[in-house]
Chains A and B, each alone.
Chain A
Amino acid sequence: MANKGLVPPGLAYLADNINTKHNLLGAGKGAGSKWAKDMQLPRDAETVFFAGCGYQYSSDLESLMSLMRRMDKGGVSDMAMGVAGFQKKLGIDAAGIYRKMMGGRGGEDGGEVLRDAVKVLRKLGLSFGYLGDEEPCCGGILHYMGLEEDFTRHAREVRSQLKSHKVSMIVGIVPSCTYTMRNLVAKVAPDAGLEVKHFSQIVAEKVPSLSLKFPTSAKMTYHDPCQLVRFMGIVEEPRTILRAIQGIEFVEPEWATREWATCCGGGGGFEAVFPEMSEILASNRARELADTGADIIVTQCPGCIMQIKTGLKNIKADKVEVLDLAQVVARAMGV
């Protein structure tokens, strides 16, 4: 009865990348780990920092999304022929566009977030490594697409890869990867010896012993990523951290915050199926956040950052900055 043809084209393309190239973008091996080149992170460690596709390929994802949106708005037979087919037909080589960017600076913003997160964790005295180009894609999107068999197979590979590196703890930064590793992989490929925590949980634990000051005075609001707030219940941690930093005036949206936070419009692969609608939802969310009067919107998800930035541009509020919490903490620590 099951019919794979029912997976919408944009998503089928991403799934194929994970299944064949082991990352969301179908990029070549090693491309994602460039951000860590000068970070001197050991490959073998009991605790590893899990960087995730979202930040490692952030600028590439941005190019891909922008391409998909252009296609979508252009009404190109609703991507029925798939992204790859579309590229071929119009002579646009999306893969080429993002590989070229990767050859250059590649994932600059995302790389900065990751380096900041590493610096913050180091400053907190955590000893950890990074699997580099052997870090597997969590494969979460396969699960969300409904391709549970592919996901299960992928999750088993992920688990044995972590086992072969003797990893006992993962510190995640991307909400979706962290939830996938903590809950979804654990469900289909259980490993009692593996603990998964999110970056903000570790930082929040240490906050009372820190003295933090943001270099300038700034009004900030916080956007809760769906998977952190509603899937993992991480509500207080980011707020504890932001409130502990001197120089920050912390404001919340009137209604749509904490467990009521509105999705940025980039959830569950939606952005690849309905690129244009996803942009409308991004603008709606950006408006709710900008209405707080904040200069900086803090969040913790590469997808949300991309969406909110797009939304801010659409509502002509690009002066508002969007940062990952790791960047804010790094600046407040002066690292």
Chain B
Amino acid sequence: MSVFSDYKKEIMDAAHNDRIRLALTRGIKSYRGNVNEAMKRFPHTIKMAEEVREIKSNAIADMENLAQKACESFEYNKAKAYIARTVDDALGILDKLVGAGKLIVKGKSMTGEEVELREHLEHKGNEVFETDLGEFIIQKLGSPPMHILSPAIHVPKEDVAELFSKLTGEKLPSDDIARMVAVARKLLREKYFLADVGMSGANVVAADTGTMFLIENEGNIRLATGAPPIHIALIGMEKLVPTLSDAYKVSEVTWRYANYTVPSYVSLVSAPSKTGDIEKTTTFGAHGPKELHVIFLDGGRTELAKDPILRQALYCLRCGGCLYECPVFAVTAGHFGDKYFAGCGMVWAGMVSHKPEKAAALAYTCLTCGRCKVRCPMQIDTPAMCVELRRSLVDKD
């Protein structure tokens, strides 16, 4: 079977799966309602998004410099910083830091998905707990994430109840979502404090101060990056912007388009935990991690940044808004994707993961209808990227 026919079978199975459609119909409706309300309350977001587009397009052109600068800043803050050129480099750095036989708690990270972080750590003999509820659900289901922000978007509550009933051995009613949440909380609580390492990505990083922004609602990232003695962040280089104030703007636009007026938590992490309370002697590892390691991953990003049309994929804030507007995504969820989904997913598959067959299959799944672009705070022109990607894959050069 060819890559195309395997893929076609996969998305057609998804399209015939009523559970996926049910879950997505609910998800889309709720997203649109929430985002409209968030925009009504904070109408300045639209103007701010324009500003952020400018920030991002400049930052993508200057990624290499920003990465160097951010490394200097983090080092100045007594963290350790690394630039990994390839996925293998990144995993190599990680292996040296983590080793084997460790307990690791992890926040949800698309860059982590990209390098298959959990699988790698487990393969090296570590025990890994996904702490984001959606990610926890799909880890236990053995399914890949189906949305960048809501990885379990394709799983209706009835299926979660069944899964958690199996995990706990007690029968959970399918309409009691609060109880399902409580189950996850209970199962994960002690892991944070037993863990050797906490891992995260980042939504955006300020190069000038060396500060990563972690946006979340559940509180799992605060615990996962705050309780263990070591915090390792694996961050795609496209997340870098020049200043702290730029980073703030990127954050606000990201969460607003991700349908939140304001998220429950935004953590700004710049350095390991420290105290000077005893004789003004700086001592690391007060209540938070004693060590902070920041790995910036290139993995094809600087190369992608050179393409005048496809580079737009690097502007993506990962708010996930586009996915709710994609008619194909509405019936297939993340099956219309590779590491990332839909428009940016096809570019990623082709240009970063170097999988031409998969990239072509995804590119020809795009309707080029352009509704994603209407939603996108960065105005990423997916129809144009799609046609250009098709061209780069099939045209005589």
Identify the A interface with B (CB < 8 A). Answer: 1-4, 6-8, 11, 77-78, 80, 143-149, 226, 230-231, 255, 259-263, 265, 267-270, 273-274, 276-277, 280-281, 284-285
Contact = CB atoms under 8 A, between A and B. Distances in A.
20 contacts: A3-B356, A6-B356, A78-B5, A144-B387, A145-B394, A146-B387, A146-B390, A146-B391, A148-B395, A149-B395, A226-B369, A230-B373, A261-B371, A263-B327, A267-B367, A276-B15, A277-B331, A277-B332, A280-B331, A285-B327
Top 8 A-B pairs, shortest CB-CB distance? A146-B390, A263-B369, A268-B368, A267-B367, A6-B360, A230-B370, A146-B391, A226-B369
B97 to A, nearest CB: 37
Interface of B: 2, 4-5, 8-9, 11-12, 15, 32, 325, 327-328, 330-332, 356-357, 360-361, 363-371, 373-374, 383, 386-387, 389-397
Nearest to B369: A263
Contact of B374 (A8, A145, A259): A259
Contacts of A268: 366-369, 383, 386
Given A6-B357, A277-B328, A263 B371 contact: yes
A269 B383 CA distance: 13
A259 B15 CA distance: 25
Given A4-B394, A260-B371, A274-B365, A284 B328 contact: no
Contacts, number: 122
A259 to B, nearest CB: 5
A149 B390 CA distance: 12
Contacts of B32: 255
Given A146-B387, A255-B32, A276-B12, A8 B4 contact: yes
A164 to B, nearest CB: 28
A273 B15 CA distance: 15
A6 B394 contact: yes
Contacts of A267: 367-369
A123 B150 CA distance: 55
Contact of A263 (B9, B331, B364, B367): B367
Contact of A226 (B361, B364, B367): B367
Given A78-B8, A230-B373, A144 B368 contact: yes
A79 to B, nearest CB: 9
A174 B5 CA distance: 32
Given A260-B374, A265-B367, A274-B11, 14 more contacts: A1-B397, A2-B393, A2-B396, A6-B357, A6-B360, A7-B364, A8-B361, A145-B390, A146-B391, A146-B394, A230-B371, A231-B383, A269-B364, A277-B328
A259 B370 CA distance: 9
A230 B374 contact: yes
A274 B12 CA distance: 9
A18 B4 CA distance: 24
A285 B331 CA distance: 12
B397 A277 contact: no
A7 B361 CA distance: 9
A299 to B, nearest CB: 14
Nearest to B25: A284
Given A4-B394, A263-B369, A80 B2 contact: yes
Nearest to A272: B364
A149 B364 CA distance: 18
Contacts of A277: 11-12, 15, 328, 331-332
A2 B357 CA distance: 11
A246 to B, nearest CB: 33
B367 A7 contact: no
A148 B397 CA distance: 10
B309 to A, nearest CB: 12
Contacts of B357: 6
A60 to B, nearest CB: 23
B109 to A, nearest CB: 31
